[in-house]
């Protein structure tokens, strides 16, 4: 069985602070894929990143960066210089090779205070 744990239920930061959202996963698959999605107050889940288990390079996209560490089964997400528009619920998700199903974490609600 697969499992994704996002231990932080809610985080509040002041604008321009850096913030890291934690994601820990469990899987028996040797090939698997990890995702992050953003859900703003409007409700739509927006895809942010997809990572396969063979690629442990960190990824940076603007103010967003992702740290994938297989040794600790973690796929953490950092927002640098946070902005009010970053306020949303962020979900980490996992799927195995050949599987149609995504296993989601419970999400972390991020509030960025001006």
Query: Which residue number, 73 or 80, has a Cβ lying nearer to other proteins?
Result: 73
Candidates 19-27, 46-54, 65-73, 77-85 — which segment interacts with other proteins by CB under 8 A? 46-54
The string of DSSP letters for 24-60 reads EEE-S-SSEEEEEEEE-TT---EEEEEEETT----EE
Residues in CB range of 112: below 8 A, 6 or more apart = 12, 13, 14, 15, 82, 83, 84, 85, 86, 87
Tokens 């509040």 correspond to: 12
- Report the residue from 76, 82, 87, 95 that binds other proteins according to the rule CB under 8 A: 95
Q: How far apart are CA 11 and CA 108, in angstroms?
A: 7
Contact set for other proteins, span 15-34 (CB under 8 A)? 31-33
Q: Does 54 bind other proteins (CB under 8 A)?
A: no
- The verdict on 91 binding other proteins (CB under 8 A) reads yes
Q: Give the binding-site size for other proteins (rule: CB under 8 A).
A: 24
Give the residues lining the site for other proteins (CB under 8 A).
Answer: 31-33, 35, 37, 42-47, 50, 52, 91, 95, 97-98, 100-102, 104-107
């Amino acid at each position: 069985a697969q499992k994704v744990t996002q231990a932080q239920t809610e985080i509040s930061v002041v604008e321009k602070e850096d913030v890291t959202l934690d994601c820990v996963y469990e899987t028996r698959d040797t090939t698997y894929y990890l995702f992050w999605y953003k859900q703003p107050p409007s409700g739509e889940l927006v895809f942010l990143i997809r990572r396969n288990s063979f690629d442990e390079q960190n990824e940076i996209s603007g103010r967003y960066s992702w740290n994938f560490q297989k040794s600790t089964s973690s796929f953490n997400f950092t927002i640098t210089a946070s902005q009010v528009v970053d306020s949303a619920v962020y979900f980490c998700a996992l799927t195995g090779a050949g599987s149609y199903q995504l296993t989601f974490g419970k999400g972390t609600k991020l509030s960025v205070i001006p």
